[in-house]
Structure 1
Amino acid sequence: MHSPALDDDRVRSLRTRGQGLGAGVRLRTAAEAVERVIGVQAQDARAGALGIRVRTTGLTAAELRRALEVDRTLVRSWLLRGTLHTVTTADLRWLLALLGPQFLRLSARRYRELGLDEALCDAAETVITDTLAAHGPSTRAELTHRLATAGLPADGQAPFHLIRRAALRGRICFGPEREGDATFVLLADWLPDAPGGPAGEAAVTALARRYLHAHGPAAPEDFAGWSGLPATAARRAWRSLDLLTVRVRDRDCALPADRAAELDAAPGPAPDVRLLPMYDNYLIAHRTSALAVPAAHEQQVRPGGGQVRAAVLADGLARGTWAWRRGRVDTALFDPADATALATGLAAESAAVADFLGAA
């Protein structure tokens, strides 16, 4: 039996529908949006917030901050690919157990380059956790000062790596913002009732299943690149899932079998315009962004050096870039002729971003 071949529009429809980014699909709450995509990249705090906003209906900055700091249904830490992500509290501990050891191993060489041996790292972790236990939420600068006072490395990149190591080991996580600065807290104090979850191979399988629900159609190599797990682990997970194989540009990809009905789903109202922030999942969750960004404009969205610019998305295809300048959305469409067709959607999205950032 031949695998069905999907055209580019159908693939984009499936991927945007899965992420709440197209076909008229939007999620109700910040937690629902984050749970859908598993984690929203949040190295840049504003981009991370906008990545949640773009998948929801009417989310305010105050509601997002409440989810992070009061209800604590969301939390930030270093997870997928070893980078900062916002995830649901329900997913944090099992993701840390799965991914933390992987990125600690990959960081060992950098620790050695910085002169951070195991004993020194352990001593720094004790200083960090003791500080948080005694003083509560503390900024990176405050933790760096404590490290220096204890005679531990406090210059250059050493404090960052020591703090990140404590987070990857499940000791700390991000806490409340204080006057625009991020703080860290003891994970066990901040989220004492956070559940566990699948472990070992079951955790890899669960993560792969969730990935495909949000980001499929995709191949094991896409999942490995997105998660930071080895390709061998990705292929094992694929074999344990109930999948529908499809052809995407002459490449075997997969969808969870329970998404098969979506292959024939009617398209939503077009054009569905979304203003994606920098480093959005939609643009980095696959080995190539060829289906999301026209080849002629790849350099405008991905100029190199790991940069991924904010993009104007319409029905899953990047049609331009945008930036927040002087209190307004400033767009640069690849084809000025698109301005008329996208005008209504752009106006609505621009107003929503202005409302969100204006109250942030």
Structure 2
Amino acid sequence: MAMASMDFARALTWRLRRHALDDASAASVADVADRVLAFRAWPTDNADLTVATRLATPSMTALGTALARGDVIRSYAFRGGQYVFTRETGATLLTARTATGVWKTARWQEQGGFALDDWQPLREAVRETLRSGPKTRREISTRLEAIPALRHLAPAARGAGADSLYKPLHWWGDICFGPSIDGEAAFQLVIPALESIDLDDAGRRAVRAYLHAYGPATEANLAYWLTDGLGVPRKRVQSWVADLADEVESFDLVGTPALVLRVDADDIAAAAPSDAVRLLPAYDPWVFGPGTADATIVPPARRSLISNGANIVIASGVVVGTWKMRADVVTIDAFAELDDRALRDEVARLAGTRGEHLELTRAH
């Protein structure tokens, strides 16, 4: 039996609405994070705009306020970078991240200057150190120097191997990033602690959540998110998908099989195509969720440009240009047809979001 096909324009509209991009409608920073699952925390101005452009009441300071309140957390996650997510999503993604067991490898231990027997006492020492509040790597290192059994880890805790020590503590839900101290990055306890989830349960949750945020999703999309991003072995991802067989359907999407949650299929089929034009920051989850190799979203000839940090112009969900802002001028470099009125409206929206007056100009 031939696989049923799915209209790509409708699928993109549904996804735009899920991401609060068809019509900015997210109620809070946590709502934004819940919709996109996770977004890159650095550079901070990009992260602020990722949130603000989706909020019904846009604010470039909303993310900082939400982090300070603990509405969302910031931790090491995808490809070793810092990402923002809700506690629930963090518990799911960070548990899935532990599938690699990378901290057990000889190379990882060599980078951090530790042995496997060091992990539990290190976790306890770091948690105890952070009970009084956020601490920098240097302050944590000073504490380790005072513990005879962990003194050998003190240089790595503040030096080049520091992240080899701290990243697993993020993945296990012990710590996350806190507010900077005198310009230095600092860690804090995750309070309350993240939910404890069985690894395979977390994996199934991760697949389900991804399909609800980025569906219809191909095998390559899932591999980009979970294997390339979180290091989960591809066969394990495939086993999680197989476990969800009763919850997912497969459709032909522009010639490629793609998975959709059954509960979302009717809504996708009913979505009217959108003509929304949006100016998104570099590394926005709209493209870094499915991956820049997804040619249905990013033209292959422009992939390196987007991967290397260009700000993004999308129309109907597809990347159609890039943009820069210098002083009060927004310059659009379009590589597909763009309606001037829609662009002017979007630049005006960006100006309102940033609280600035902005002029529009074209690169060509």
TM-score bracket for this pair, using the shorter chain length: 0.7 to 0.9
Aligned partners of 1:284, 1:336: CA distance in 2, in Å?
21
Give the TM-score normalised by structure 1.
Answer: 0.81
Contact 1:79 1:85 (8 Å CA) reproduced: yes
SS in 1 for 2:355: helix
Equivalent positions of 1:138-149 (< 5 A) are 138-144=135-141
Equivalent positions of 1:285-324 (< 5 A) are 285-286=289-290, 288-302=293-307, 307-324=308-325
Aligned partners of 2:252, 2:346: CA distance in 1, in Å?
32
Aligned partners of 2:89, 2:96: CA distance in 1, in Å?
11
Contact 1:39 1:87 (8 Å CA) reproduced: yes
Q: Which residue in the other structure is 2:175 paired with?
A: 172
Instruction: Provide, for residues 161-220 of structure 1, a one-character-per-residue CA deviation record: whole Å limited to 9, x for no partner.
Output: 222232223221112344655421122xxx12x562653322211211110011011123
Q: Which residue in the other structure is 1:196 paired with?
A: 195
Equivalent positions of 1:152-163 (< 5 A) are 152-154=154-156, 156-163=159-166
Q: Label 1:243 to 1:332 Cα distance change in 2 as closer, same or farther (>3 A).
A: same
Aligned partners of 2:124, 2:6: CA distance in 1, in Å?
53
Q: Which residue in the other structure is 1:258 paired with?
A: 263
Aligned partners of 2:271, 2:173: CA distance in 1, in Å?
42
Q: Label 1:62 to 1:25 Cα distance change in 2 as closer, same or farther (>3 A).
A: closer
1:338 maps onto 2:341 in alignment = no
Equivalent positions of 1:25-174 (< 5 A) are 26-70=25-69, 72-102=70-100, 104-105=102-103, 109-113=107-111, 115-119=113-117, 125=123, 128-133=126-131, 135-144=132-141, 150=151, 152-154=154-156, 156-174=159-177
Q: Label 1:3 to 1:87 Cα distance change in 2 as closer, same or farther (>3 A).
A: same
Q: Label 1:179 to 1:340 Cα distance change in 2 as closer, same or farther (>3 A).
A: farther
* Amino acid in structure 2 at the alignment position of 1:4: A
Q: Label 1:350 to 1:335 Cα distance change in 2 as closer, same or farther (>3 A).
A: same
Deviation at 1:109, TM superposition (A): 2.2
* Amino acid in structure 2 at the alignment position of 1:234: V
Aligned partners of 1:186, 1:355: CA distance in 2, in Å?
34
Aligned match for 1:239, one of 239, 242, 251: 242
Aligned partners of 1:110, 1:278: CA distance in 2, in Å?
30
Aligned match for 1:273, one of 261, 265, 277: 277
- RMSD over aligned Cα atoms: 3.0
Contact 2:38 2:83 (8 Å CA) reproduced: yes
Aligned partners of 2:349, 2:143: CA distance in 1, in Å?
44
* Amino acid in structure 1 at the alignment position of 2:75: S
Q: Which residue in the other structure is 2:351 paired with?
A: 351
Question: Runs in 1 of length 4+ with deviation above 6 angstroms?
Answer: none
Aligned partners of 1:146, 1:277: CA distance in 2, in Å?
39
- Structure 1, unpaired ranges of 5+: none
Aligned partners of 1:107, 1:315: CA distance in 2, in Å?
45
SS in 2 for 1:153: helix
* Amino acid in structure 2 at the alignment position of 1:314: A
Instruction: Provide, for residues 312-336 of structure 1, a one-character-per-residue CA deviation record: whole Å limited to 9, x for no partner.
Output: 222211122234544x463332249
Contact 2:129 2:140 (8 Å CA) reproduced: yes
Contact 1:101 1:168 (8 Å CA) reproduced: no
SS in 2 for 1:176: strand
Q: Which residue in the other structure is 2:207 paired with?
A: 208
* Amino acid in structure 2 at the alignment position of 1:291: T
Deviation at 1:18, TM superposition (A): 2.8
Instruction: Provide, for residues 309-359 of structure 1, a one-character-per-residue CA deviation record: whole Å limited to 9, x for no partner.
Output: 321222211122234544x46333224963614323332332144239xxx
Q: Label 1:233 to 1:82 Cα distance change in 2 as closer, same or farther (>3 A).
A: farther
Deviation at 1:293, TM superposition (A): 1.8
* Amino acid in structure 2 at the alignment position of 1:350: L
Matched pairs, number: 342
Q: Label 1:282 to 1:119 Cα distance change in 2 as closer, same or farther (>3 A).
A: same
Instruction: Provide, for residues 219-253 of structure 1, a one-character-per-residue CA deviation record: whole Å limited to 9, x for no partner.
Output: 23322320222222222222233222111232111
Give the TM-score normalised by structure 2.
Answer: 0.81
Q: Label 1:222 to 1:338 Cα distance change in 2 as closer, same or farther (>3 A).
A: closer
Identity %: 26
Deviation at 1:81, TM superposition (A): 4.5
